[in-house]
A and B are shown apart, each in its own frame.
Chain A
Amino acid sequence: MKVAVNGVALFFDVEGAKVRPDGPWMRDHPTALLLPTGPGLDHSLYKEHLGPSLAEVAQVVYLDLRGSGRSDWSSADHWTLETWTDDVIAFCERLELQRPALLGTGIGGAIAIEVAAQRPDLVDRLVLVSTVARYVHSRSVAEFDRIGGPEAGEVAARYYADPTELNFADFMRICVPLYTRRPLPPDTIARVEMNLALTAHWDATSARDFDVRAAAARVQCPVLVLAGERDPATTIAGIAELVEALPARALRYERYPDTGHGVFRDRPEAIGVVGEFLHASQPA
């Protein structure tokens, strides 16, 4: 399905009904809007494990952000955190999503933080998976070096400093396989629709200076943070920094040893933690 917001058509897909028969009731289930790990990736990675499992306890809404997958790609000047935040807000309003939980991985998590900070009325709770408030590339380079050896560290350093196509190809070959303990199956990779132009543009522009710490401090809703301790892309140091910026009042922080980026691939049991969090009653 597609819906028009802010002048673009956004692709979304849905798994699990919102309203389900339960004895004499038609019972509303929570809505979980999944914001893809970005930038430039579509929603398909979520369809492998997370979405189908969560759909048992919630209505899962998958979204391709502007610039990726089956949504309009728009143009490079719109591939920013601000635009994606505005798009998600407009998307929730246009479809009258009833206070969804926003679950984001990587940049998806940063967008979720911005939406919750700007529109607390729209968001019920946040699940931030492998999300940092800002990129500190030296942290990632050190992790690639530690996990993959000196070549991985050098390739990462070269790419971050100069995200050209050539350096990107090396990064994809040497560094991306280090993101998770369990490798991504070839079929899973083949299913992803990638906008590499967006990835390169992002890495050359906003990736260098975005910082959602101020927004994180304004988040009022309950937050679940899931982190892998062996994640070179969003390092545990970076995630700890985000956790520090978030209000402690309704925060749950789960870190998994020997776990890479995206968490769920290496730790399928984390999906159960999310399901439980979606149904936990809100603190008074």
Chain B
Amino acid sequence: MRIQVGDVRLFFDVEGTKLVAEGPWMRERQTVVLLHPGPGFDHGLFKVQLGPWLSSGSQVVYTDLRGGGRSDRSTPEKRRLERWADDVKELCDAIGIVRPIVLGLGFGSVVALKYACRHADHPAALVLAAPVARIVPELSIATYERLGGPEAGAVAERFYGGMDERGFADFLRVCFPLLSTYPLTSDVIARADWRPEVLMEWMLGEAKELDLREELAGVQAPALVLAGEDDAWAPLGSAREVAELLPGHARFRSYTRARHSVFRDAPEAYEDMRLFLDDIEARELDT
């Protein structure tokens, strides 16, 4: 399905019903909106494990952020965090999703944070997997080097220094595989519907000046922050910084040997998420 939101049509897909038959009742479940890494990627990688797992207890809404997947491409001046964040809010409003739990991974968690800053009373809760408030190249470069040796460190340095297409190709070859502990299979690569130019454009543009540190004080929703200790995209220090800057009520969990693909690499993250979602459900029922 796609729906018009402002100047673009956004693709969304759904797994699991909102209302489930339970004895004499139609019970309402929570809705979890999933925001994919990127920008320029699509929602597909969530459909292997995370989405199906979540859909056993809640309604899961997948979306492709503007510029990626089956959503409209939009234009460079609108492929910016503010717009992506507002898209999330407007998508929810257009299809009647009220008080969602918004879950982002990597870039998706940055969008989730920006959305929660700009629309503080909209989400019921945030799950931030591998988030950053800003990009600190030295931390990422050091992690790539630690995981992949000097070549990986050098390629990452060129990538963060302002890459060209050649540097980007090297990054994909040498550094990208270091973002997860499991090898990317040909199936996973074949299924991805992604736009490398959108990623490059953002990394060379807005990412360089990204800094949400002050804004985070305005987030009202309770949050769970999940971090991989071997994540080169969102190094442990950056993820912890997010948890510390969120006002008062962020829960922080980090996992040894987990990389950017936190959920794949740290199955115990699912248990932490279950506890958090149960707490949110109880909290929402109270209000």
A interface residues with partner B (beta carbon < 8 Å): 1-3, 9, 11, 13-21, 23-26, 44, 47-48, 51, 59, 62, 94-97, 186-188, 190-191, 193
Contacts and interface: CB of A to CB of B under 8 A. Distances in A.
Interface in B64-121: 94-97
B44 A26 contact: yes
Nearest to B15: A17
Contacts of B97: 1
A21 B44 contact: yes
A18 B1 contact: yes
B25 A191 contact: yes
Contacts of B95: 1-3, 95
B94 A14 contact: no
A19 B13 contact: yes
Nearest to B21: A47
Nearest to A96: B2
Contacts of B51: 17
Contact of A95 (B2, B18, B25): B2
A96 B1 contact: yes
Given A9-B96, A14-B17, A47-B20, A95 B47 contact: no
B186 A24 contact: yes
B14 interface: yes
A23 B193 contact: no
A259 to B, nearest CB: 23
Interface of B: 1-4, 9, 13-21, 23-26, 44, 47-48, 51, 59, 62, 94-97, 186-187, 190-191, 193
A24 B16 contact: no
Nearest to A3: B95
A187 B23 contact: yes
B24 A186 contact: yes
A1 B18 contact: yes
Contacts of B59: 14
Among A26, A62, A97, A191, max chain B CB count under 10 A is at: A26
B190 A25 contact: yes
Nearest to A14: B14
A15 B44 CA distance: 17
A24 B186 CA distance: 7
Contacts of B62: 17
List the 4 shortest-distance A-B pairs measured between CB atoms, nearest first.
A2-B96, A24-B190, A190-B24, A14-B14
A19 B1 contact: no
Contacts of B23: 187
A14 B29 CA distance: 13
A14 B59 CA distance: 9
Contact of B19 (A17, A19, A24, A44): A44
Given A23-B187, A26-B193, A59-B14, 19 more contacts: A1-B14, A13-B18, A17-B13, A17-B47, A17-B62, A19-B13, A21-B44, A21-B48, A44-B21, A44-B26, A47-B20, A51-B17, A95-B2, A95-B3, A96-B9, A97-B1, A187-B21, A187-B24, A190-B25
B99 to A, nearest CB: 13
Contacts of A62: 17
Contact of B17 (A15, A25, A95): A15
Nearest to A20: B47
A6 to B, nearest CB: 15
Contacts of B1: 18, 95-97
Contacts of A3: 3, 94-96
Contacts of A26: 44, 47, 191, 193
Contacts of A59: 13-14
Contact of A15 (B9, B16, B96): B16
A238 B97 CA distance: 41
Given A20-B47, A25-B190, A26-B191, A191 B13 contact: no
26 contacts: A1-B95, A13-B17, A14-B15, A14-B59, A16-B15, A17-B51, A18-B14, A19-B13, A20-B47, A21-B191, A23-B187, A24-B186, A24-B187, A44-B21, A47-B19, A51-B17, A59-B13, A59-B14, A95-B2, A95-B95, A96-B2, A96-B3, A96-B9, A187-B23, A187-B24, A191-B26
A188 B190 CA distance: 44
A193 B20 CA distance: 14
Contacts of A48: 21
Contacts of A20: 47
A186 B4 CA distance: 41
B93 to A, nearest CB: 10
Contact of A24 (B25, B26, B96, B191): B191
A10 to B, nearest CB: 9
Given A25-B191, A26-B193, A95-B2, A19 B44 contact: yes
